[in-house]
Amino acid sequence: MAEKISVLIPEEEIEKRIREMAEEISRDYAGKEIHLIGILKGSVFIATELAKRITVPVTLDFMSVSSYGNGTESTGRVRVVKDLDESIKDRDVLIVEDIIDSGYTLSNLLTMLGVRQPKSLKLCTLLDKPDRRVVDVKVDYIGFQIPDKFVVGYGLDYAQKYRNLPYVGVVELGEEE
Ligand code: IMP
Ligand code: MG
Compute the distance between CA of residue 174 and CA of residue 177 in angstroms, rounded to an integer: 7
Reported as a single tens digit per residue, the pLDDT across 50-101 is 999 999 999 999 999 987 655 555 566 788 999 999 999 999 999 999 999 9
**Per-residue pLDDT at 177:** 46
**Per-residue pLDDT at 174:** 65
In a domain, 92, yes or no: yes
Nearest-10 crossing angle of helices 44-53, 11-28 = 60
Which domain does 21 fall in, by range?
11-147
CATH code: domain of residue 108: 3.40.50.2020
- Taking the centre of ligand 1 as the mean of its atom positions, its distance from the CA of residue 37, in whole angstroms, is 17
Number of folded domains in the chain? 1
- Taking the centre of ligand 1 as the mean of its atom positions, its distance from the CA of residue 156, in whole angstroms, is 8
Closest C-alpha to ligand 1, atom 17: 150
In a domain, 17, yes or no: yes
Question: To test the ligand 1 pocket, which listed residue (127, 142, 156) has its Cβ within 8 A of the most ligand atoms?
Answer: 156
Residue 36: which region, alpha, beta or left (left: phi > 0; alpha: psi -120 to 50)? beta
Reported as a single tens digit per residue, the pLDDT across 104-126 is 999 999 999 999 999 999 999 99
